[in-house]
Chain A
Amino acid sequence: MADIFDLATTNLLSPVILFFVLGVAAALARSDLSVPEAAAKTLSLYLLFAIGFKGGASVAAHGVDARLIASLGAGVVLSFFLPFIAFGLLRVMTNLNRLDAAAVAAHYGSISIVTFVAATSVLESRLIDSEGYMVAVAAMMEAPAILSALWLVARGAPDGGRMDATLLREIMLNGSIVLLVGSFAIGAITGQDGLEKIASFIVAPFTGVLCLFLLDMGLVAGRGLREVRGQISMATVAFAVLMPLIGSTIGLGFGLLIGLSAGGVALMMVLSASASYIAVPAAMRVALPEANPSIYLTLSLGVTFPFNLTIGIPLYVAVASAIVGVN
């Protein structure tokens, strides 16, 4: 328990978290502080490029084993499966209709790559190793949840959800996934030599860029919270805190079953606990346009993301370290 408290305190007082808090506070105080859209997208591209490349280089250094295949499979299963738990919880805990509940559930089966990036940053600061291929697991978990959500909607109303070849292609070839997987592949091909050549660009400035990006995330989350104040019930907010805990517990089980390292288990927990706010919202606007975007965006970005960033990540890292042990 003392370890968890120590890790949580260290995490809360890290520049990364404090910049996120600054963003939320500035938005709530109606400051005119803002990050231009193009700059925010550039920061996002940098983080995806860096995390993908480093993951690939790590795989090149440590080799490929059966756990990689098992982890990828686990990621797909989790992404398919978690929306059903989220949907059930929402229908029991809240008064959301079937459509809104399914749209929210899709977000909780998919992942937040920024939460994943923040978790890898915490692991690196604690000198805890993790499997580089967890980046690929993250990419695998983006899309299946969307199919589960559409199936949940279709069960209640056959013409409720819309999935066509164009949407499927857009989801699978989403720019974030292409860059993440592409950088991972290039990192795996070029290995440590490739990493050394661009280390000054993707290693040293990484935390600083992450701080700036989380400032932007804080601003976006703060604006969202300001807009929906009073519109979302406490039970719905409670779901957004409970679901990451349930997801991370299931992720813990999968990580232990596969035999991942402490860092790998922590990242599997983070992926299972996080909720998408980039890929899935866009897919939901196409497939389920009648679902209310302010509900799923607020829960994902305004509640679950800050929860994972401040309390979740230290908790998951501490639990994984305690159970698996750190070398």
Chain B
Amino acid sequence: METHKAKRVAIIIEAPMERRLTNALTEAGVQGYSILPVLGGSGRSGQWTREGQVGRSGMMQVVCIIRPERLDTLLEAAFKVVERHMGVVTVSDCEVLRAERF
């Protein structure tokens, strides 16, 4: 089966910034993304867990698959939002079956 090269961008960001990030991605022309809850973790600020939290706290992960030529536009839009905040941005290569969807 034929596959097509794509980029997978995963952005872990603080929950209060999630909507700002997805708005920025939409404005940058990103048509699709998935949002995943992060259950807990450890970083420069120490350990944390989502358990028992009632406020809009913790981290979320926004994952998008895009065509390679659109990567720079996405990263520029995302960086404007995440620049001052905790989080991790990773880019990896992947392959998709239906290129027209990305």
Contacts and interface: CB of A to CB of B under 8 A. Distances in A.
Interface of A: 34-37, 40-41, 43-44, 166, 170, 216-217, 219-220, 223, 227-228, 277-279, 281-283, 285-286, 289-290, 292-294
A40 B54 contact: yes
Contact of B52 (A216, A277, A278, A281): A216
Nearest to B23: A166
B69 interface: no
A294 B48 CA distance: 10
Contacts of A294: 45-46
Contacts of B55: 277-279, 281-282
B23 to A, nearest CB: 9
Contact of A37 (B45, B46, B51, B84): B51
B54 A41 contact: yes
Given A227-B47, A278-B54, A294-B46, 20 more contacts: A34-B52, A35-B51, A36-B52, A40-B54, A170-B16, A216-B52, A216-B54, A220-B53, A227-B46, A227-B48, A277-B55, A278-B55, A281-B57, A285-B14, A285-B17, A285-B57, A289-B85, A289-B86, A293-B45, A294-B45
**Most chain B CB inside 10 Å of its own CB: which residue of A35, A166, A228, A289:** A289
B53 A285 contact: no
Contacts of B46: 227-228, 294
A37 to B, nearest CB: 5
Contacts of A35: 51-52
Nearest to A35: B52
B80 interface: no
Chain B interface main SS type? loop
Interface in B17-53: 17, 20, 45-53
Given A227-B46, A228-B46, A285 B52 contact: no
Contacts of A220: 52-53
Contacts of A217: 52
A37 B17 contact: no
B84 A223 contact: no
Interface residues of B, number: 21
A228 B54 CA distance: 20
Interface in B68-102: 84-86
A40 B16 CA distance: 18
Interface string B1-27: 000000000000011110010000000
B50 to A, nearest CB: 5
Contacts of B20: 166, 286
Contacts of A34: 49, 51-52
B53 A37 contact: yes
A12 to B, nearest CB: 23
Nearest to B37: A37
A279 B16 CA distance: 10
